[in-house]
Amino acid sequence: PVGETPEYGRYLASSTCVECHGRSLEGGTHPDPSGPPVPGLSHTSQWSFEEFATALRTGKVPGGRTVKTQFMPIRFFGHLTDSELRALRAYIATLQPGAPPTTAR
């Protein structure tokens, strides 16, 4: 069901994030051979909601770095509602930090 829940966030992640970040959002090799290594996402649960939303909507992550928009679909994430981003963040908060990256997609 739609809601600000980890379950709905998992659904959103399964249709948006897993292609690059892996099934468990643990990161690994980018599916585009010219792309940079893909980070895991568990650390983003430490960001405030505002930092998380800003990162997904603008590409600016805490600390001032900007992700490369040719590899991160910022234009897509800019259309997610606050409620959808809260659900996604709730799911990411359930992930085990430091899980070893895999390259299987």
**pLDDT number for residue 82:** 97
- Give the global pTM: 0.84
Mean pLDDT calculated for residue range 66-84: 90
Reduce the DSSP state of residue 38 to 3 states and report it. Answer: strand
- pLDDT at residue 103 greater than cutoff 90: no
Higher pLDDT, 19 or 98: 19
The whole-number average pLDDT for the span 45-59 is 95
How many Cβ atoms from other residues are within 10 Å of residue 17's Cβ?
22
Lowest mean pLDDT among 5-9, 74-78, 100-104: 100-104
Task: Provide the H-helix boundaries in 1-105.
Answer: 6-16, 18-21, 49-58, 74-77, 82-92
| Residue 94 confidence (pLDDT) | 95
